[in-house]
Amino acid sequence: MKSNYRAVVIGGGVVGASVLYHLAKYGWTDVVLIERDVLTAGSSWHAAGGFHALNADPNIAALQSYTIDLLSEIEKESGQNIGMHMTGGISVASAPDRWEWLQASYRVFQTMGIDDVHLIGVDEIKKQCPILNTDGMLGGLYAAREGHIDPSGTVHAYAKAAKLRGAEIVEHNRVLELNRRADGQWDVVTEKGTIVAEHVVNAAGLWAKQVGRMVGIDLPVSPMEHHYLVTEAIPEIQALDKELPLIVDLEGFTYMRQEQKGLLLGIYEIDHKHWNMDGAPWDYGIELIQEDTDRISDELTLGFSRYPCLDTAGIKRWVNGAFTFSPDGNPLVGPVRGVPNYWVACGVMAGFLQGGGVGKSLAEWMIHGEPQADVFGMDIARYGDFASNREYIKQTTGQFYSRRFVMSYPNEQLPAGRKLKTSGAHDAMTAAGAHWGSSWGMEVPLYFAPEAFVETPTLKRSNAFDLIGEECRKVRAGVGLLDISAFSRYEVKGPSAEAWLDRLLACKLPAPGRARLAPMLGENGKLKGDLTVFNWGDGTWWIMGSYYLRQWHMRWFEQHLAEGIAVRDISDDVVGFSLAGPNARKVLERVTHEDVSHGAFGFLGCRSLDVGLIRAKVGRLSVVGELGFEIHCRANEHATLRRTLLEAGRDLGITEYGFNAVNALRLEKGFGIWSREFTQDYTPGETGMDRWIDFDKDFIGRQAALAERVATAGRALATLEVDAMDADASGYEPVWHDGRLVGFVTSGGYGHTVGKSLALALVDRELAEVGTELRVHIVGVERTARVVQPSVYDPQGLRMRM
């Protein structure tokens, strides 16, 4: 072990070994992995070793696909046998909704270009897995590239391949402290001495919590118990001339694979159990937890009924081991805001499936400044400080574990970690019928409904469809009031504020008293934000964006800070309401003495106004394409602002509405949103954001954006009218032309005021012309669609400029 390294990776499980391998592969050979015990001594050694193609997030699924491809490569490169069995796998469905979900998932895989996945019937399932009781089954999704590996062999293959590329591994050497040096490097204090390192990677698995606390952070992860059993040889399996496929029984909460001539059955029980929430004991190693068969008895009964041969099989061993989970089950990866050169790669519940993609992405991030793929779904910055609360972690990780195989619906609101953050008018809005969702811990209104209304979870249009439609129509015809507390707001000040913003944002900056839509790009020319910038005229600027990107955007701002600039997240201090609709100005006029006519307060203007008793900051814009005003106030004035505006608009029929209606209204206008039409995987040219770019100035990502500007090929964002029936597009559905995959849906829904099912889609540029006929799958059913003008409602945008 040397005294200096470029990077130290802490943790010798599959994730740490993958990070080490990828750092060495991409050119950083002066790296070392430090393991407190021996490689695999944590969760890796007792993992079931299965790998699957399915993931609800297509970007995560793509990284899983990369991992599967990588496994055979590292086996060859290292010379270490990883025990790969590419058996194929089947996810089976026994409920109609689940079967619909699998059919829709199959189409998402087509969108991703994965062509070795297909739907199969019950007879084919039985043929592939003769020991399976198929009673009640409706079908399954078969994936050719699924199977299992030897966990220990795989970790050692990563490790050997890394060492062959120049990396080092030191076992039996616990990290004791991490101390930041004056020169920005780290003192990594270990049992065998102190290492000076430029970068530190926390890949400590069950001990990630403690390694995080060494630098003052509390990671939102918790270990949880997980059971599987392994049988003795089973005659029915011994008689087969082929290996069984991996089976996931989604309604039975079990997964199964063949283990030699026996069977391995794993369980995701409803009655979950946390284990050492503050992290595993330091002396815990290659050990197991006592099995608790009473707690998993219901799921065991379902499993035994699916595999009748288990009734007479001997159980060779029980495995009850701990794995580390994040609140949503996805990994925590990337740089930690406020702790330079400290990286995390933890919470990787499916380490042997996702570890390769995690290692690749983190190594690219460390070496090149950005990962190649959009990995926001596993970025540590998707959580804020609120997620470090122990009760929040306990509720959310437990909810994820118990629902691992439970059917989820896009319109379903889950209870864990809820009413964490509420706006000042929350209780009054609840009394008025608000039904709530959650964004980054903040309660946001989805729609308003009569007392005792309960929305039915569904993959199709729900029983709230007509309620949302009525909200849309009332906004278009009169005036609507929307709680905009869940928008992010950043205050920018200082003598260099304007120069800094001019470099950070790709748009031309607005004049005093004006606002402007503001694309923000990475060095690669891809999007980093679809923001709005306000110039309040007194040296103060605001940037507004998506609430759930607060940590992500603040990390980006801080990474690019300069002298004479101060950026502050004011989202917890400043909230507000939006007025939108043809009567919006009439309402505002009744509560202010100032001139808010079009001549005095034009479109995209911004100014301070007295609104009733409140001194508010007001911008003249709207996310729904109507005459609108966004009115911002202090958090403790929120209830007063709502009451003031409702009273002023009562005789005008003012209606409160929620973000489900916003989605429908913005689709009618062809307005994109972040995580759908705009992501860090997309460029301004293909999404239409280039119309807001000032190419004559210097800004981050300019060269890449200029190169794209002269390109004629690629994709373009188009608005589709879909011949839908009882369901609408939601996202990632494939788009076809003459039987050829030509794009995918980014988002969709029903346009209630135009009476059409609409979708926004990225398609081959030459097919984005109005009138082009296409085909699209909606909940797995193929429908006709056609390209229409980008803004179906008020295409000239006249109503916003009234």
Over residues 354-378, the pLDDT tens digits come to 999 999 999 999 999 999 999 999 9
CA distance 711 to 715: 11
In 3-state terms, the chain is what percent helix, strand and coil (to 5)? 30, 30, 40
Is 70 exceeded by the pLDDT of residue 125? yes
Give pLDDT, residue 321. Answer: 96
The residues near 18 (Cβ < 8 Å, ≥ 6 apart) are 158, 355, 356, 358, 359, 360
Q: Are 44 and 350 in contact (CB under 8 A)?
A: no
Q: Can you tell me which residue has the tokens 């220990």?
A: 152
Taking alpha carbons only, the member of 34, 37, 43 closest to residue 10 is 34
Closest CA to 287 of 323, 335, 320, 326: 320
Total Cβ atoms within 10 A of residue 390:
12
CA 707 – CA 501 distance, rounded (Å): 23
Question: What pLDDT shows up at residue 57?
Answer: 76
Q: Where residue 711 falls among pLDDT bands split at 50, 70, 90?
A: confident
Tokens in use for 351? 């380490």
**Ordered DSSP codes for 462-491:** -TTHHHHHHHHHHHHHS-EEEE-TTEEEEE
Residue boundaries of the structural domains of the chain: 4-378
Question: CA neighbours within 13 Å on the CB side: how many for 324?
Answer: 28
CB 20 within 8 A of CB 167: yes
3 state SS of 34:
strand
What is the rounded distance in angstroms from the CA atom of residue 528 to the CA atom of residue 542? 17
pLDDT-derived band at 709, boundaries 50, 70, 90: confident
Token couple for 789:
């003008």
> What is the greatest pairwise CA distance in the chain?
88
Q: What is the overall mean pLDDT for the chain?
A: 96
State residue 335's pLDDT score: 98
Q: pLDDT by residue (tens digit) across 428-467? A: 999 999 999 999 999 999 999 999 999 999 999 999 999 9
Q: What's the mean pLDDT in 55-83?
A: 90
| Contacts of residue 281, Cβ cutoff 8 Å, sequence gap at least 6 | none
Report the C-alpha gap between 408 and 416 in whole angstroms: 14
Position 60 confidence tier, pLDDT thresholds 50, 70, 90:
confident
Give the pLDDT confidence score for residue 101 in this predicted structure: 93
Residue 113: pLDDT above 90?
Answer: no
The residue ranking higher by pLDDT, 63 or 768, is: 768
Confidence band, pLDDT 50/70/90 cuts, at residue 285? confident
Kindly report the number of other CB atoms within 10 A of residue 201's CB atom: 30
**Predicted pLDDT at 366:** 98
Q: What are phi and psi of 584, to 5 degrees?
A: -60, -40
Element containing residue 518 per DSSP (H, E)? strand 514-521
Is the model's pLDDT at 766 over the cut of 80? yes
pTM comes to: 0.96
Quick one: which H or E segment has residue 431?
A: helix 426-431
Out of 115-119, 200-204, 367-371, pick the least confident.
115-119
Q: How far apart are CA 683 and CA 527, in angstroms?
A: 6
Segments in 28-113 forming alpha helices (H): 58-78, 96-111
Q: Counting every residue, how long is the chain?
A: 802
The stretches of 239-309 forming alpha helices (DSSP H) are: 297-306
H or E stretch covering 163: helix 151-164
Written as six digits, the tokens of 539 are 């040296």
Residue 719's pLDDT band (cuts 50, 70, 90) = very high
CA–chain centroid gap for 644, Å, is: 37
The helix (H) or strand (E) run that includes residue 264 is strand 262-267
Of residues 727, 738, 722, the one with CA closest to residue 784: 722
Q: What is the pLDDT of residues 590-641, one digit of tens each?
A: 999 999 999 999 999 999 999 999 999 999 999 999 999 999 999 999 999 9
CA distance linking residue 732 with residue 745, whole number of Å: 5
**pLDDT computed for residue 28 by the predictor:** 98
State the average pLDDT over residues 270-292. 95
* pLDDT for 58: 77
- DSSP for 661-720, written as a single string: HHHHHHHHHT---BTTTB-TTS-HHHHTGGGG--TTS--TTHHHHHHHHT---SEEEEEE
Report the topology of domain 4-378.
FAD/NAD(P)-binding domain (3.50.50)
pLDDT per position as a tens digit, 313-354:
999 999 999 999 999 999 999 999 999 999 999 999 999 999
Please, which pLDDT band fits residue 712 given cuts at 50, 70 and 90?
low
Q: H or E segment at 355? A: helix 351-368
- Report pLDDT for 411: 96
